Amino acid sequence: MGGVKYKVTISYDGTDFHGWQKQEPPHTEPLRTVQGEIEKAAIDVARARVLTLGASRTDAGVHAKGQVAVISTTRDIEPERFLYAINSRLPDDIKVTTVELAPFSFDPIQGCKSKGYRYQLFHGCCDPRNKPLFERRVHAIVMPELNVKTMMEAAPHFVGEHDFAGFTKMNHGRESTVRTIDACYVSVLGEHRIAFDIAGKGFLWNMIRIIAGTLVDVGLERTLPSDIPEIIASGERTRAGKTMPPEGLCLEWIKYD
């Protein structure tokens, strides 16, 4: 499509979405997706044909603070005006935070140098006083108390280039399961509240949520920190932890040159 290309940064509460990517099943209404809402609002602003492409196809229930997308259209609108206009047409669970003109060659997927995700959870929730109420939409809940110190010891074992075949779904659709993790660490955010921060150029389907589940296994003392390299090398899905629920995961940022 010729015309204008806008690079936009988007935040959203993923709770009530079927993920980022548009889904239009045959013979039924389209599912509610972030891309679908963005595109609908952009068409209303531009009064012209619009194409959107997101840098990360977040799953249903996953949130974002720094999703990046391009909106291509034939109508040239000043970026700040576009920002205000599109936000006035978006639902309350999506917000466009920045809009800038992008070169026609800009590709949000191929141009990405690194992405940062955070997985947040409350633990020790067998005690009802520790169970979150208002934060439950953006945190996972683990009933037993976790050994956070051993989780901190385990996290660096994921850093580097590895074959993460055991940390994704079957039928993941990727030719290669080799990925490079630039950073992986555990932080204490408050009493009974922790986060896993993971950064890298790209990830497999459910990879971060499975890494989070494996770190939880370490915290439950089912797995030793020293077991992580062997679990990764095995390539066996059954050796890694469970896939943690989507509500704890948030796309924090995406970096470009």
Q: Which residues pair with 114 in a beta bridge?
A: 255
What string of H, E and C letters represents the secondary structure of 140-184? EEECCCCCHHHHHHHHHHHCEEEECHHHCCCCCCCCCCEEEEEEE
- What is the sign of the dihedral through the CA atoms of 62, 68, 74 and 76? positive
- Crossing angle of helices 79-87/34-46, nearest 10°? 120
- Biggest CA–CA distance in the chain, Å, is 58
> Is 197 tagged catalytic?
no
CA distances from 86 to 83, 183, 217 (A): 6, 35, 43
Q: What share of the chain is helix, strand, coil (3-state, %, to 5)?
A: 30, 30, 40
In the DSSP assignment, the letter for residue 111 is T
Cβ atoms < 10 Å from Cβ of 11: 16
Choose, from 13, 16, 44, 59, the residue flagged as catalytic.
Answer: 59
Distance (Å, rounded) from C-alpha 208 to C-alpha 54? 19
Distance (Å, rounded) from C-alpha 55 to C-alpha 68? 6
Structure tokens at 229: 């390299």
In this structure, the chain runs to a length of 257
Q: Give 88: exposed, middle or buried? Use CB within 10 Å, 0-12, 13-18, 19+.
A: exposed
Active-site positions read: 59
